[in-house]
């Protein structure tokens, strides 16, 4: 079969893996949009099916309940806004202060994208209905950075530049310090300007390092 015949077969027959993955992504994107616009209660599987151009039977075969589709859509959004470990390592330098500032800026930038803002809103509004969202958000979104930071602090502790008895705890404390203000205010009328975010990050990093640097 030549390439043209293969393409025709792919269009006329079963979808390719790439096409199936694209349709799955489209379904989750549309579902997330509708959950955001209408809330979980008012969003229906029928409405999602009509919006994405699928049959209800097809969607129910993948997600037997609306809650399963909701969690799948939110999980995908969390994973897409997670800061990749490769990006964190690429931002690293020999100077720990420079590195901490760079990785903090990366994480805030990822959480400040339109998708990141939408995700924060839906996690906040629906966590009472789905308590697992908060842990899911940490495991799939924040954990990669926390693990990277713990390893970074451990390495600098071994080199004698800082003194950190619990790198994992110190990493969590650092993330709370550096992300708390900017991220909490991202979607509010009091959102920080880029200059204010940068000032916050630098002040938080200096304060953190003052507590862990060797005397």
Contact 164, 173 (CB under 8 A): no
Q: What average pLDDT does this structure show over 182-191? A: 80
What are residue 162's phi and psi, to 5 degrees? -135, 170
pLDDT band, residue 155 (cuts 50/70/90): very high
Q: pTM of this prediction? A: 0.82
Please indicate, yes or no, whether residues 127 and 201 belong to a single structural domain of this protein.
yes
Please indicate, yes or no, whether residues 11 and 70 belong to a single structural domain of this protein.
yes
Residue 160 is part of a domain; what is its CATH number? 1.10.357.10
pLDDT in tens, 14-73: 778 888 788 888 999 999 999 988 889 999 999 999 999 999 999 999 999 999 999 999
Please indicate, yes or no, whether residues 68 and 156 belong to a single structural domain of this protein.
no
Contact 179, 119 (CB under 8 A): no
For the chain, give the mean pLDDT.
89
pLDDT in tens, 95-132: 999 999 999 999 999 999 888 888 888 888 899 999 99
| Domain encompassing residue 164 | 83-212
User: Taking 80 as the threshold, does the pLDDT of residue 188 lie above it?
Assistant: no
Residue 43 is part of a domain; what is its CATH number? 1.10.10.60
| Torsion-angle region of 44 (φ positive above 0: left; ψ -120 to 50: alpha; else: beta) | beta
Rounded-to-integer distance, Cα 134 and Cα 187, Å? 18
């Amino acid at each position: 079969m030549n390439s043209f015949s293969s393409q025709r077969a792919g269009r006329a027959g079963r979808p390719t893996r790439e096409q199936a993955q694209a349709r799955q992504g489209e379904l989750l994107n549309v579902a997330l949009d509708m959950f955001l616009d209408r809330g979980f209660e008012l969003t229906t599987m029928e409405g999602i099916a009509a919006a994405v151009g699928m049959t209800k039977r097809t969607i129910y075969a993948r997600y037997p309940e609306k809650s399963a589709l909701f969690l799948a859509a939110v999980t995908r959004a969390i994973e897409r806004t997670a800061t990749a470990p490769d990006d964190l390592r690429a931002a690293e330098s020999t100077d720990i202060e420079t590195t901490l500032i760079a990785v903090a800026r990366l994480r805030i930038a990822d959480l400040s994208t339109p998708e990141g803002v939408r995700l924060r809103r839906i996690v906040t509004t629906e966590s009472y209905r789905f308590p697992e969202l908060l842990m899911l958000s940490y495991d799939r979104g924040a954990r990669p950075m926390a693990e990277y930071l713990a390893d970074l602090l451990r390495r600098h502790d071994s080199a004698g530049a800082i003194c950190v008895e619990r790198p994992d705890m110190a990493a969590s404390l650092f993330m709370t310090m550096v992300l708390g203000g900017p991220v909490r205010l991202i979607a509010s009328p009091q959102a920080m300007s880029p200059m204010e975010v940068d000032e916050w990050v630098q002040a938080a990093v200096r304060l953190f390092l003052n507590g862990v640097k060797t005397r």
